[in-house]
Amino acid sequence: MPKLQQVTILGATGTIGVNTLDVISQHPHSFEVFALTANQNVDVLFNQCQKFNPRYAVTLEEQAADQLSAKLKKAGSATEVLSGMAALEFVSAHEKVDAVMAAIVGSAGLNPSIAAAKAGKRILLANKETLVMAGSIFMHAVEEGGATLLPIDSEHNAIFQVMPHEKRASLNDSGVKKILLTASGGPFRKSSAEELKRVTVKQALNHPNWVMGPKITIDSATLMNKGLEVIEAHWLFNASAEQIEVVVHPQSVIHSMVEYVDGSVLAQLSNPDMRTPIAYALGYPERLQSGVSSLDLFKIGRLDFEAPDTDKFPCLRLAFDALKAGGNAAAIMNAANEVAVEAFIKEKIGFTDIPALIESVMESSQIKAVSDLEMLIVADKEARIAAKAWVKRAA
């Protein structure tokens, strides 16, 4: 009987984590949950531990760990509860772990993802900030540790599926002309600039195609999510900014495309369900049943495409600017965006204030080359301070 693959899920209570557990539950003879982690969602994590019996459960907050530990002990569970960043790194790099689903939202996912890379794990990367903040450092860790990197974002997973897998020095060496990164356009694709000024938090959290957490849903509404994906694509596929084109595709059926030098364009299509890329990455290079329904092209009827409007949605332009600037620019942009999104959700700033805040912080920050992770952490911290000061002034 083949060995059960041991899986750590970073961010188990979020959308990606829940969908990963759903796919794993369909293949009990192939996968076993080694560790589940969450920030402080004790109730959901408790229920997941009861169902999947992981060896470890980790929360970032110590108080949440104490609550979870008490509940698990009362229920007779043998799961050991840990807390803190060091514990996240521990369950990511543990010798018994085969695969790590890196799905913690935000910069908190950076250190455990790098720990998994250095330990040579199969990394199912759903945390954008790992590549956006520290792309060069993370990719170096992947190479040095001999890790296998599989993207989970539906767009990058689609590109990975239709891209040649032989390692080449550049896209041109692989016969690839450019990457076509699709975007739904979000809920405000047809809104006017004036209407965007009046967007509410409730409206912004209502994505037309995907069910996601609040932060990524707001990012999708501003098109910052697509901007982050542009930077991810640069690192994942060694593509320059000029080789990445964003195409708005409202139906979210074509998840991305690759154009080859001979004129061929290869695309990956499926229903908008994150279990498809998750199952692909868990089973790679084999294919697994995911539970996703078949794509009904007759029901869809049509596929539309249009260019993104970077005047209405400047976050996408800012992301391209950060990519071209290099160094710590993307880390600064990402930190400012996280503060801006949190402030918008708390109704401290308006929807169109999000890109204004980010641009202000980027313009006032010193862009410099990066040689180590500490420099990025400093840039992140300073950008957050500047962003919070902007929010305070705007209040």
Whole-number pLDDT of residue 211: 66
Domain 5-151 is found in CATH 3.40.50.720: yes
The CATH class of 326-395 is mainly alpha
What span, in angstroms and rounded, lies between the C-alpha atoms of 314 and 310?
Answer: 5
Contacts of 169 (CB under 8 A, 6+ apart): 238
The overall average pLDDT reported for the chain is: 94
Summarised one tens digit per residue, pLDDT across range 107-140 is: 789 899 999 999 999 999 998 888 998 999 999 9
Q: What is the pLDDT of residues 178-218, one digit of tens each?
A: 999 999 998 999 999 999 999 999 999 987 766 677 888 99
Domain boundaries, the chain: 5-151, 326-395
CA distance 158 to 272: 12
Residue pLDDT, tens place only, 293-327: 999 999 999 999 999 999 999 999 999 999 999 99
Distance CA 359, CA 315 (A): 8
Q: What is the pLDDT of residues 233-285, one digit of tens each?
A: 999 999 999 999 999 999 999 999 999 999 999 999 999 999 999 999 999 99
The answer to whether residue 43 scores a pLDDT higher than 60 is: yes
- Using CA atoms of 204, 209, 212, 217 in order, give the dihedral in degrees to the nearest 10: -30
User: What's the number of CA atoms in the CB half-sphere (13 Å) around residue 384?
Assistant: 13
Q: Is 217 exposed, middle or buried (0-12, 13-18, 19+ CB in 10 A)?
A: buried
- Say whether pLDDT at 79 is over 90: yes
Q: Which residue has the higher pLDDT, 394 or 168?
A: 394
Q: What is the dihedral of CA 83, 88, 91, 94, to 10 degrees?
A: -120
pLDDT, tens digit, 9 for 90 and up, residues 45-56: 999 999 999 999
> Is the pTM higher than 0.75?
yes
- The pLDDT tens digits of the residues spanning 19-37 come to 999 999 999 999 999 999 9
Q: Look at residue 168 in the predicted model and tell me its pLDDT.
A: 66
